[in-house]
């Protein structure tokens, strides 16, 4: 079996078969950040100087979506032939933030509706001789 | 605070000309100086908007253009704020004049654009949000425009036909504009046949990338009064270059996530609303005072969002306002009388200044077939990625 390699290190995990986004959480004011990006809290009302590594909610509600029909420029690792892909914006309730992700493979954008529940998954973005290069995506459902 | 006025404006036509950006910039600058009745030696300060896509000379556009115009020893500045670069350059020049450090400033934006989608700068940079969104998500600019458009459809019942009506209007406005790249009247049928780029948006819903340049001659009120015989000046009533207020929970390019609303009070208004709000406050004017507006129609759907952001109607009211004819030439408050980005395509550092050129011509009554009747107050608004607001209000 080919190894699974995250397209970017440190943004998500699928350890234990559970997809999770890896962000930052301020222990003082409670704000969340994705990506974590910096080592400090950037809430101007907060005096926090550290940011904990934290996993974000893996479920949220669909805020909007788009279906891309043309290959983007590099550094998107578009394969030939190009396969259209959707992008979803999903609102996380606890974090009170919207996070983008591609739509999971096989999702029909025509059947999506605003506010429906979405679930985080980790899937291959592309495959080459080194392995399966993985990324987080949003999948409809997960209402269980 | 002392008044600052625009004494001259000039543009190089938009297109895909394939020449160096400084060549366009010099054409626009000379046109603006000629319009003001001034010569290059009258200029005491030069402010330029940078271009990220033309190598080092693009990062120091102020000195590149000063050299191209013939070194005269004057101080320069080079500003980058993506699509808002022109307004930030204008703001720098205005501050200089208000501080009494110059009477005459030249503000220039010029660009040579690549073909197709804008991509990030080369290199492997996982910490750069602009690199990240392309590499991990394939989230192009049209992807974000499509997310906003879909949101509008779901929240307000907008349809692709509404978006097409924006394109029809703007293409009609731009027909007679000699600086527009596209002078073709689109019909709804043609738009419906255009290929989908990022559903729900079609190719003709999304603005192209163009070469072009625009320039302004900015002066103190006293200087303008003394040279009023040369040219009719207009007043810069407000320049807003605001940034978002934390937490910015509106999805914004190039980020892959918004700020979190936890731990801080919500800002008094959403970022795009705050851009116009700051300008109205400074000018002591209200949306009902506007004669016309130039808004940044990166997509047809986004023009409808702007109607609400600049207070022409309540959220969800833009489609009705559009179909009432109010925003068409001849209507109550024509929007994008120039033809907008639909007719121009986007020449990033030049675009905010091109909007101001159009408003200047409108307020002087020199806009020809696209003249807004009795235009007295014009607003130009735009937004650059990475959190740059740009709004300018001019009065006659």
Rounded to 5 degrees, φ, ψ at B146 are -70, -35
Q: What span, in angstroms and rounded, lies between the C-alpha atoms of B152 and B315? A: 10
| Contact predicate B251/A98, CB 8 Å | yes
| A/B interface, count of CB pairs below 8 Å | 154
Same domain as B228, residue B97: yes
Same domain as B164, residue B93: no
Q: Is A72 on the interface with B (CB under 8 A)?
A: yes
Q: Cβ B259–A97 below 8 Å, yes or no?
A: yes
- B123 part of a folded domain: no
- B124 part of a folded domain: no
**Which structural domain, as residue segments, surrounds residue B324?**
129-207+239-395
Chain A residues with CB under 8 Å of B196 CB are: 67, 69
Q: What span, in angstroms and rounded, lies between the C-alpha atoms of B208 and B167? A: 13
Average pLDDT over every residue of A3-23: 95
- B139 part of a folded domain: yes
For chain A, the structural domain boundaries read 4-140
What is the distance in angstroms between the Cα of B204 and the nearest Cα belonging to chain A? 14
- pLDDT value of position B115: 79
Res. A143: pLDDT tops 60:
no
Q: What span, in angstroms and rounded, lies between the C-alpha atoms of B146 and A67? A: 8
- pLDDT value of position A142: 58
Q: Cβ B263–A65 below 8 Å, yes or no?
A: no
- Other residues' Cβ atoms within 10 Å of the Cβ of residue B156: 17
- pLDDT value of position B116: 76
Closest CA to B69 of B217, B178, B209: B217
Q: Cβ A67–B196 below 8 Å, yes or no?
A: yes
Res. A144: pLDDT tops 60:
no
What is the distance in angstroms between the Cα of A33 and the nearest Cα belonging to chain B? 7
Same domain as B327, residue B215: no
Same domain as B222, residue B197: no
Which of A8, A68, A95 minimises the CB distance to B138?
A: A68
Q: What are the tokens at B106?
A: 């030249």
Same domain as B178, residue B77: no
Which of A11, A26, A97 minimises the CB distance to B249?
A: A97
- B120 part of a folded domain: no
Same domain as B152, residue B268: yes
Provide CB contacts within 8 A for B244, sequence distance 6+. B250, B252, B267, B271, B274, B387
Chain B interface, best mutation among A68, A90, A102, A111, by max B CB count within 10 A? A68
Chain B interface, best mutation among A54, A72, A110, by max B CB count within 10 A? A72
How large is the ipTM? 0.97
- B164 part of a folded domain: yes
| Contact predicate A57/A94, CB 8 Å | yes
Each residue's pLDDT expressed in tens, for chain B with a length of 396 residues: 789 999 999 999 999 999 999 999 999 999 999 999 999 999 999 999 999 989 999 999 999 999 999 999 999 999 999 999 999 999 999 999 999 999 999 999 999 998 777 888 888 898 899 999 999 999 999 999 999 999 999 999 999 999 999 999 999 999 999 999 999 999 999 999 999 999 999 999 999 999 999 999 999 999 999 998 767 899 999 999 999 999 999 999 999 999 999 999 999 999 999 999 999 999 999 999 999 999 999 999 999 999 999 999 999 999 999 999 999 999 999 999 999 999 999 999 999 999 999 999 999 999 999 999 999 999 999 999 999 999 999 999
Same domain as B274, residue B137: yes
Judge residue B282's burial from the number of C-beta atoms within 10 Å of its C-beta, 0-12 exposed, 13-18 middle, 19 or more buried: middle
Q: Cβ B261–A98 below 8 Å, yes or no?
A: no
What is the distance in angstroms between the Cα of B208 and the nearest Cα belonging to chain A? 15
Nearest CA in chain A to B135: A76
Nearest CA in chain B to A103: B137
Q: Cβ B136–A114 below 8 Å, yes or no?
A: no
Nearest CA in chain A to B266: A96
| Contact predicate A118/A140, CB 8 Å | yes
Rounded to 5 degrees, φ, ψ at B376 are -125, -30
Query: Within the 33-52 window of chain A, which residues sit less than 8 Å (CB to CB) from chain B?
Result: 33-35, 37, 42-46
Q: Cβ A8–B263 below 8 Å, yes or no?
A: no
Supply the pTM of this predicted model.
0.96
Q: What span, in angstroms and rounded, lies between the C-alpha atoms of B236 and A55? A: 49
| Contact predicate B316/B281, CB 8 Å | no
What is the distance in angstroms between the Cα of B249 and the nearest Cα belonging to chain A? 6
- B98 part of a folded domain: yes
Q: Is A24 on the interface with B (CB under 8 A)?
A: no
Same domain as B308, residue B202: yes
Closest CA to A104 of A115, A95, A112, A96: A112
- B294 part of a folded domain: yes
H/E stretch holding B109? strand B104-111
Q: Is A75 on the interface with B (CB under 8 A)?
A: yes
Same domain as B187, residue B52: no
Same domain as B36, residue B162: no
Same domain as B221, residue B145: no
Q: What span, in angstroms and rounded, lies between the C-alpha atoms of B106 and B44? A: 8
- B203 part of a folded domain: yes
Res. A35: pLDDT tops 80:
yes
């Amino acid at each position: 079996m080919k190894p699974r390699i995250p397209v970017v290190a440190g943004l998500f995990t699928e350890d234990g078969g559970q997809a999770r986004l890896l962000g930052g959480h301020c222990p003082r004011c409670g704000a969340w950040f994705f990506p974590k990006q910096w080592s400090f809290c950037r809430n101007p009302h907060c005096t926090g100087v550290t940011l904990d590594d934290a996993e974000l909610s893996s479920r949220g509600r669909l805020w909007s979506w788009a279906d891309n029909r043309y290959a983007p420029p590099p550094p998107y690792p578009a394969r030939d032939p190009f396969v259209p892909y959707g992008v979803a914006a999903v609102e996380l309730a606890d974090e009170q933030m919207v996070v983008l992700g591609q739509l999971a493979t096989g999702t029909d954008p025509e059947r999506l509706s605003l506010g429906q529940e979405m679930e985080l998954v980790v899937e291959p973005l592309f495959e080459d001789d080194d392995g399966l290069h993985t990324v987080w995506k949003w999948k409809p459902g997960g209402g269980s | 605070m002392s008044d600052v006025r625009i004494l001259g404006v000039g543009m190089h036509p938009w297109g895909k000309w394939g020449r160096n950006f400084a060549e366009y910039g010099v054409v626009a600058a000379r046109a603006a100086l000629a319009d003001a009745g001034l010569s290059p030696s009258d200029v005491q300060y030069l402010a330029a908007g940078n271009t990220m896509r033309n190598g080092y000379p693009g990062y120091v556009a102020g000195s590149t253009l000063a050299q191209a115009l013939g070194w005269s020893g004057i101080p320069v500045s080079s500003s980058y704020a993506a699509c808002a670069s022109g307004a930030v350059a204008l703001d720098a020049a205005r501050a200089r004049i208000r501080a009494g450090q110059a009477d005459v400033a030249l503000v220039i934006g010029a660009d040579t654009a690549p073909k197709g989608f804008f991509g990030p700068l080369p290199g492997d940079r996982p910490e750069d949000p602009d690199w990240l969104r392309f590499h991990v998500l394939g989230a192009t600019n049209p992807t974000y425009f499509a997310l906003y458009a879909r949101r509008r459809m779901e929240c307000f019942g907008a349809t692709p036909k509404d978006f097409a009506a924006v394109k029809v209007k703007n293409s009609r406005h731009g027909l007679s504009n000699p600086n527009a790249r596209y002078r073709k009247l689109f019909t709804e049928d043609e738009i419906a046949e255009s290929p989908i780029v990022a559903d729900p948006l079609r190719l003709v819903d999304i603005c192209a990338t163009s070469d072009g340049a625009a320039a302004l001659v900015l002066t103190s009120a006293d200087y303008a009064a003394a040279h009023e015989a040369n040219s009719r000046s207009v007043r810069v009533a407000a320049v807003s270059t605001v940034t978002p207020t934390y937490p910015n929970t509106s999805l914004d390019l190039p980020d892959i996530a918004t700020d979190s609303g936890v731990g801080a009070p919500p800002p008094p208004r959403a970022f795009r609303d705050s851009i116009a709000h700051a300008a109205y406050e400074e000018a002591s004017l209200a949306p009902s005072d506007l004669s016309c507006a130039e808004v940044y129609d990166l997509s047809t759907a986004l023009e409808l969002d702007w109607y609400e952001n600049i207070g022409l109607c309540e959220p969800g009211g833009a489609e009705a306002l559009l179909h009432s004819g109010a925003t068409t030439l001849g209507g109550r408050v024509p929007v994008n009388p120039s033809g907008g980005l639909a007719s121009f395509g986007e020449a990033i550092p030049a675009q905010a200044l091109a909007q101001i050129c159009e408003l200047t011509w409108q307020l002087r009554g020199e806009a020809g077939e696209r003249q807004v009747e009795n235009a007295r107050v014009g607003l130009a608004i735009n937004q650059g990625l990475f959190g740059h607001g740009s709004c300018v209000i001019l009065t006659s």
